[in-house]
Structure 1
Amino acid sequence: MSAEARPAVPAAPPLTERQEARRRRILHATAQLASRGGFDAVQMREVAEAAGVALGTLYRYFPSKVHLLVATMQDQLQHLHTTLRKRPPVADGAAQRVAETLMRAFRALQREPHLADAMVRALTFADRSVSPEVDTVSRQTTAIILDAMGLENPTPEQLSAVRVIEHTWHSALITWLSGRASIAQVKIDIETVCRLIDLTDPERRPTA
């Protein structure tokens, strides 16, 4: 889910309070529909009806179902990040804290498998038009990992390790959702890739 460097895009003007409330209703309706029936259950007309907005209004906020579901994933990650800040991981080492954090995120998605599948499928289907939304998901995931690490100013090597961890977490979600990996296998993969954190820690790197 990591984003490659792209030209800067002018920031959109901030939403008004009323617009933000409307957007929240849309994302809530999307999550509810996806939780019940997955990707195929999210139809733009039904989302608009459930959110109490006109179909044209919905399309102004989200040009497609993929845009909508990727934004829903970002919203879900934001809620998770808030929860993690209230109840941070308790392990001693940075690698262990990140592994604990990502498994908590995984279990949160596990509780809503249809929603998780819909969001991951949307990320997989996303093309260049969805790049800003995908980038936001990536930044949110990076922020969650860096918080767990306790880092404010990571080195380039540490950021590279974070990108690899993100890729592995995303891949683990896909393999679990497709029935090709168990929760135990996911846990092993996450714990294994999080060891990169120790390898890129300047304070723990062996001197020549």
Structure 2
Amino acid sequence: MPRIAEARPSAEPSSQEQKARQRRILRAAAELAAERGLDRVQMHDVAKVAGVAIATLYRYFPSKTHLFTAVMADQVERLDELARPPRAGQDPVDAVCELLLRSSRTLLSRPLLASAMMQSNVQANAATVTEAIRIDAMMQGAVMRMLGLADPTARDVRLVSLLIECWYGMLSSALNGRLSMADVEEEIRLASRLLLAARSNASPRTALDG
């Protein structure tokens, strides 16, 4: 289990050199977690692989919870870049399903890393691990964009949040061996159709079918 996050936020890099250093840290952490799993990753090993001083590592990431929540934020940011409005004639819910399915396959292809990120994100205190809030915001924004919800209602936000929470639960169950990839895909499609049928811009027919 990761050490409980210290009650202080991570330092934010400002210069290009500092940003490059932070990227090296995130890459090193991801590589080590993919090979060893969260419990066997030591902060001094991350610093060594990244080529930074241990004090520098702790300045940016006060704990493993901070570090691997940031690794997850980096992964989700790539997912967010893939989120586009649906193609002409494409059902927006199908577009969301495709995004979540593609992301699930990518995450589950490296199960030890996925477990490290998921465990850390669950333990992250939003008051001190600001990347946890950014993950939620990016995930919500990606789904809203694909649904064409430029001005979402409070209900839309709740529905999308529920879908994302369901998705996290499916990934956790897959990582624990309780769901197969086929099960994950089926449940993603079912949860998406049930929850998103009630969104504010759903057609009456779609809402009725859902």
> Into which bin does the TM-score normalised by the smaller protein fall?
0.7 to 0.9
Q: What pairs up with 1:89-108 in 2 under 5 angstroms?
A: 90=87, 92-108=90-106
Offset, 1:150: 2.6
Aligned to 1:189: 187
Matched, 1:44 2:38: no
User: Which of the numbers 152, 155, 176 marks the counterpart of 2:153?
Assistant: 155
- Tell me, yes or no, if the aligned pair for 1:26 and 1:51 is still in contact at 8 Å: yes
Contact 2:118 2:172 (8 Å CA) reproduced? yes
The one-letter code of the counterpart of 2:16 is E
How far apart are 1:127 and its partner, in Å? 3.3
Q: What letter matches 2:166 in structure 1?
A: T
Residue 70 of structure 1 aligns to a residue whose secondary structure is helix
How is 1:13-92 mapped onto 2 (pairs within 5 angstroms)? 15-85=14-84, 90=87, 92=90
The 1:26/1:185 distance shift into structure 2, 3 A limit, reads same
Q: Which residue of 1 aligns with 2:118?
A: 120
Aligned counterparts of 1:158 and 1:188: Cα–Cα separation in 2:
23
**Stretches of structure 1 lacking an aligned partner (at least 5 in a row):** 1-9
Report what 1:166 is aligned to.
Answer: 164
CA contact (8 A) 2:83 2:145 kept: no
Q: Cα distance, 1:198 vs. partner? A: 2.1
Q: Residue 6 of structure 2 corresponds to which residue in structure 1?
A: none
**Higher deviation after alignment, 123-132 or 53-62:** 123-132
- Partner deviation per Cα, 1:180-205 (whole Å, 9 max, x = no partner): 11112211221122122222234524
TM-score (norm 1): 0.85
Aligned-partner Cα distance in 2 for 1:171–1:142: 16
Deviation at 1:84, TM superposition (A): 4.4
- 1:183 maps to a residue whose letter is M
Higher relative contact order, structure no. (Cα contacts within 8 Å, ≥ 6 residues apart): 1
Deviation at 1:170, TM superposition (A): 0.5
Q: Distance in 2 between the 1:174 and 1:185 partners?
A: 13
Cα offset for 1:100? 1.1
Superposition RMSD in Å: 2.3
SS in 1 for 2:197: helix
Matched length? 195
After TM superposition, the score normalised by the length of structure 2 is 0.84
Structure 2: runs of 5+ lacking an equivalent: 1-8
Q: Between the two proteins, what is the percent identity of the paired residues?
A: 37
Could you report, residue by residue, the CA deviation over 1:16-65 in whole angstroms, capped at 9, with x for unpaired residues? Answer: 11110110000010011011111123211000001111001100000000
- 2:174 corresponds in structure 1 to 176
